[in-house]
Amino acid sequence: MVDLANLRDPVVIAAFEGWNDAAEAATGAVDHLVDEWDAELVTAIDPEDYYDFQVNRPQVGLDEDGVRRLTWPTTRIYLARPDDTGRDVLLIRGIEPNMRWRAFSRELLEIVDESNAQIVVVLGALLADSPHTRPIPVSATSSDPELTASWSLEASTYEGPTGITGVFADLCTTLGVPSVSIWSAIPHYIAGTPCPKASLALLGKIEALLDLAIPEGELPELARAWQRGADELSEEDPEVAEYVQSLEEQRDTADLPEATGEAIAAEFERYLRRRNKNHPSD
Least confident of 147-161, 237-251, 268-282: 268-282
Q: What is the DSSP string of 111-174?
A: HHHHHT-S-EEEEEEEEES--TTSPPPEEEEES-HHHHHHTTPEEP---S---HHHHHHHHHHH
* Mean of pLDDT values over 128-132: 91
The pLDDT of residue 18 is 93
pTM (2 d.p.): 0.86
> What count of other Cβ atoms lies within 10 Å of the Cβ of residue 210?
18
The neighbouring-strand residues paired with 122 are: 14, 181
Least confident of 101-105, 142-146, 263-267: 263-267
Phi-psi region of 66 (alpha: psi -120 to 50; beta: other; left: phi over 0): left
% of residues, the chain, pLDDT over 90: 61
**Average pLDDT along the chain:** 88
Is the model's pLDDT at 236 over the cut of 90? no
The pLDDT of residue 277 is 56
* Mean of pLDDT values over 202-207: 95
The pLDDT of residue 255 is 47
Which range has the top average pLDDT, 2-11, 257-266, 267-276? 2-11
- Please give the residue that has the higher pLDDT: either 276 or 61: 61
Strands 154-155 and 138-142: parallel
User: 271: part of which helix (H) or strand (E)?
Assistant: helix 261-278
- Please give the residue that has the higher pLDDT: either 259 or 84: 84
Instruction: Quickly state the pLDDT bin for 264 (edges 50, 70, 90).
Output: very low
Reduce the DSSP state of residue 65 to 3 states and report it. Answer: coil
Is the model's pLDDT at 272 over the cut of 70? no
User: What is the amino acid identity at position 234?
Assistant: S
* Mean of pLDDT values over 118-143: 92
Cα–Cα dist 169/174, whole Å = 9
For 11-47, give one letter per residue: b (16+ CB within 10 A) or e: bbbbbbbbebbbbbbbbbbbbbbbebbebeebeebeb
- Cβ pair 202, 135 in contact under 8 A: no
Q: What angle do CA 43, 107, 91 make, to 5 degrees?
A: 45
**Domains identified in the chain and CATH numbers:** 11-218 (3.40.50.10900), 237-281 (no CATH)
